[in-house]
Amino acid sequence: MATSTAPRTSAPSPSRRSLSHYRWPIGYVVVIVGLFLLYHFILPNLVTQVSGPVTAWLPVATLNECLMWAIMALGLNVVVGYAGLLDLGYVAFWALGGYTAGWLMAAPFNWTWDFHLFGAVAKTYPGTHITFWLVILIAGVLCAILGLIIGAPTLRLRGDYLALVTLGFGEVITQFFRNSNDIAGRNLAGGDGGISIIDPIGTGPFGATGLVPPGLSNGAQDNVYKILVLGLLVGACLFISLRIREGRLGRAWLAIREDELAASMMGVPLVRTKLLAYAVGAFFGGIGGVANAAGITGAVSPSGFDFGKSVLVLLMVVLGGMGNVWGVTVGAFLLAWLNSNGLKQIGVQLDSWFGTTLTATLPRYNYIILGLLLVLMMLYRREGLIPEKRTKALMNTPSRTEMESMGAESLEAAAETAAVEKADAKTDAGIAASAAAVSPVLDESTPKREDRS
């Protein structure tokens, strides 16, 4: 007797799985190196008709700003995308990181001592001048500690209450720096004026070779090299996020995000795991604050850390795809470009086509446009541009109430269909006679058909 065997599906080879696993990281490295080569070697040697549109739509300064925003979005993705904790005050860690750079990489404004540690300025320059690469670690650790201190008494809250607490925390930090010129009679951070003239990014031994500038300021040529510096920082944040996501801590975060009660019953320590999520996210926020102060603005002030910045970072996470670091990175690039230079260039293009005056108008309505974009995303693609597989499945799965409602409706429809199929004229006449016997008034009020035959 012949038996038929089902065809076996061959599992992908380990080499193919490994190549698929590293597809996005390799692509990221290629993009960063390619952008550096494009702006450093290719565009300067092209005619203006070719290089002009590229530098107009994506200037080097805007590209660096997008990289800085990507660091912030990756940090918030740990808190919101991994652990499922809504944080509306994430800008506080960004502010603390920026002011850490101001305290450790600038001329003095309230002290008289001088301290140099591999700084990018001359030894004779007064103030505290520590190398950028050490300051990002100091700021990250300081923000992580602050996240633990602030989060310990508040992370027992859930949902909207936790969001309100984080919102208040962000406003407290901003107001603290706004009034920091007179804290117990001391000037801690310069008040509304902030701290200006922060040291450039030192290049260390690479600058000593003469191949790159010893310090990367905000000049046009230096901004090209910042693509590699900020790209390296984003790559480090991506690496840390991915490694944690695949480990035990990352799985605990995902368990809390999907069902906190079930995670607690399985032995996940809720408070400690949430605190670690805030600490890691705050660490990234501190790195982003130093990158912004030293690499983008060259200064730090409380006016740059309003509530709108927290909303913008949250929008990047939601738009890109919560829980997916590559989607969050793409969302950060897209929204940062629109908010910085994209809306202006779209207005320029529309003006050239239709003779309108939108160049100065569109950037003023940036938050209205971004808000409409968020509404459209929530209506038609809630999971984001590049969603995580688990998040996409959860978004597309109906809730228990919806499933019960759908089941009840299907059962009711099936019963009606079965009743119609089993009905006949004799049974209907019997039901009508029974109804007339029970309610004669109903039978009398029913109009009778005239026999037209």
Q: What is the CATH number of the domain that holds 346?
A: 1.10.3470
70-74, 166-170, 208-212, 316-320: segment of lowest average pLDDT: 208-212
Domain membership flag for residue 427: no
pTM here? 0.84
Distances (CA, A) of 57 to 3, 340, 346, 355: 65, 10, 9, 19
pLDDT above 50 (res 442): no
Q: Quickly count: other Cβ atoms within 10 Å of residue 38's Cβ.
A: 16
Tell whether 189 and 44 lie within a shared domain. Answer: no
Tell whether 51 and 98 lie within a shared domain. Answer: no
Tell whether 277 and 182 lie within a shared domain. Answer: yes
Residue 53 CA from chain centroid, whole number: 29
Q: What is the mean pLDDT of residues 190-203?
A: 90
pLDDT above 90 (res 335): yes
Domain membership flag for residue 356: yes
Query: What's the pLDDT band for 70 if we cut at 50, 70, 90?
Result: very high
Task: Give the SS3 label for residue 325.
Answer: helix
pLDDT above 70 (res 4): no
Tell whether 330 and 366 lie within a shared domain. Answer: yes
pLDDT above 90 (res 64): yes
What's the pLDDT at 196? 85
Domain membership flag for residue 364: yes
Q: Which of 42, 57, 72 is the last residue of a domain?
A: 57
Domain membership flag for residue 168: yes
CA angle 366–369–375, rounded 5-degree value: 140
Domain membership flag for residue 453: no
pLDDT above 80 (res 87): yes
What's the pLDDT at 155? 75
d(CA 74, CA 51): 31
Tell whether 72 and 116 lie within a shared domain. Answer: yes
The total of structural domains in the chain comes to 2
105-114, 140-149, 259-268: segment of lowest average pLDDT: 105-114
Domain membership flag for residue 409: no
> What's phi and psi for 423, nearest 5 deg?
-75, 150
Query: What does the pLDDT look like over 279-312, one tens digit per residue?
Result: 999 999 999 999 999 999 999 999 889 999 999 9
What's the pLDDT at 406? 61
Mean model confidence pLDDT for the chain:
85
Assigned token pair, 126: 């007064």
33-47, 97-111, 434-448: segment of lowest average pLDDT: 434-448
Q: What is the mean pLDDT of residues 370-387?
A: 89
Query: What does the pLDDT look like over 421-431, one tens digit per residue?
Result: 666 666 666 66
pLDDT above 50 (res 8): yes
Q: What is the mean pLDDT of residues 56-83?
A: 96
CA 104, 109, 110, 112 torsion: positive or negative?
positive
Query: What's the pLDDT band for 161 if we cut at 50, 70, 90?
Result: confident
Q: What is the mean pLDDT of residues 44-48?
A: 92
Query: What's the pLDDT band for 407 if we cut at 50, 70, 90?
Result: low
Query: Which has the closest alpha carbon to 189: 279, 115, 97?
Result: 97
Query: Which has the closest alpha carbon to 323: 79, 73, 82?
Result: 82
What's the pLDDT at 151? 82
Helices (H) and strands (E) in the chain — how many of each?
A: 20, 5
Tell whether 50 and 120 lie within a shared domain. Answer: no
Percent of the chain scoring above 90 in pLDDT:
55
Question: Which residues span the domain enclosing 33?
Answer: 26-57
What's the pLDDT at 436? 61
pLDDT above 70 (res 432): no
d(CA 431, CA 452): 26
pLDDT above 50 (res 76): yes
DSSP symbol at 120: S
Tell whether 53 and 64 lie within a shared domain. Answer: no
Distances (CA, A) of 195 to 135, 182, 284: 16, 15, 22
Tell whether 285 and 386 lie within a shared domain. Answer: yes
Contact 307, 167 (CB under 8 A): yes
Residue whose token pair is 């040291």: 199
Domain membership flag for residue 435: no
Query: Which has the closest alpha carbon to 177: 95, 298, 114?
Result: 95
In sequence order, the 6+-apart residues with CB closer than 8 A to the CB of 343 are 362, 363, 366, 369
d(CA 255, CA 264): 9
Tell whether 47 and 138 lie within a shared domain. Answer: no
Give the residue, 57 or 401, on which the prediction is more confident: 57
What's the pLDDT at 3? 52
pLDDT above 80 (res 252): yes
Query: What does the pLDDT look like over 208-239, one tens digit per residue?
Result: 888 888 889 888 888 999 999 999 999 999 99
Query: Which has the closest alpha carbon to 95: 279, 278, 393, 304?
Result: 304
What's the pLDDT at 206? 86
Tell whether 183 and 214 lie within a shared domain. Answer: yes
Q: What is the mean pLDDT of residues 391-412?
A: 64
Instruction: Tell me the HSE value of 75 on the side-chain side, using a 13 A CA sphere.
Output: 35
Q: Which of 36, 57, 78 is the last residue of a domain?
A: 57
What's the pLDDT at 220? 80
Distances (CA, A) of 101 to 134, 195, 231, 307: 10, 9, 19, 21
What's the pLDDT at 209? 84
Tell whether 334 and 212 lie within a shared domain. Answer: yes
What's the pLDDT at 452? 46
> What's phi and psi for 152, nearest 5 deg?
-55, -50
Give the residue, 448 or 185, on which the prediction is more confident: 185
Tell whether 46 and 70 lie within a shared domain. Answer: no
Q: Which of 41, 57, 73 is the last residue of a domain?
A: 57
d(CA 105, CA 127): 8
Beta strands of 109-199 (E only): which ranges? 115-117, 128-130
Domain membership flag for residue 241: yes
Distances (CA, A) of 407 to 217, 220, 390, 418, 436: 64, 63, 24, 16, 36
